[in-house]
A and B are shown apart, each in its own frame.
Chain A
Amino acid sequence: AQTVTQSQPEMSVQEAETVTLSCTYDTSESNYYLFWYKQPPSRQMILVIRQEAYKQQNATENRFSVNFQKAAKSFSLKISDSQLGDTAMYFCAFYTGTASKLTFGTGTRLQVTL
Chain B
Amino acid sequence: EAGVVQSPRYKIIEKKQPVAFWCNPISGHNTLYWYLQNLGQGPELLIRYENEEAVDDSQLPKDRFSAERLKGVDSTLKIQPAELGDSAVYLCASSRGTGWSKNIQYFGAGTRLSVL
Contact = CB atoms under 8 A, between A and B. Distances in A.
Of the candidates A42, A43, A97, the one having the most CB atoms from chain B within 10 angstroms of its own CB is A43
Given A50-B104, A102-B105, A106-B41, A45 B91 contact: yes
B103 A95 contact: yes
Contacts of A46: 107
B104 A45 contact: no
A52 B41 CA distance: 24
Interface string A90-101: 010101010011
Given A43-B89, A97-B98, A33 B103 contact: yes
A44 B40 contact: no
Contacts of B103: 33, 95, 97, 100
Of the candidates A33, A45, A93, the one having the most CB atoms from chain B within 10 angstroms of its own CB is A45
A4 to B, nearest CB: 8
Of the candidates B42, B44, B45, B99, the one having the most CB atoms from chain A within 10 angstroms of its own CB is B42
B43 interface: yes
A44 B42 contact: no
Contact of B108 (A44, A47, A105): A44
Contacts of A52: 100
Instruction: Report the contact-size class of chain B (Cβ under 8 Å from the partner).
Output: 20 to 34
Interface residues of A, number: 22
B22 interface: no
Nearest to B108: A44
B47 to A, nearest CB: 10
Contact of B42 (A95, A97, A100, A104): A104
A107 B42 contact: yes
Interface in B19-51: 31, 33, 40-45, 48
B109 A97 contact: no
Contact of A100 (B98, B108, B109): B98
B110 A104 contact: no
Interface in A55-74: none
Interface of A: 4, 33, 37, 42-47, 50, 52, 91, 93, 95, 97, 100-102, 104-107
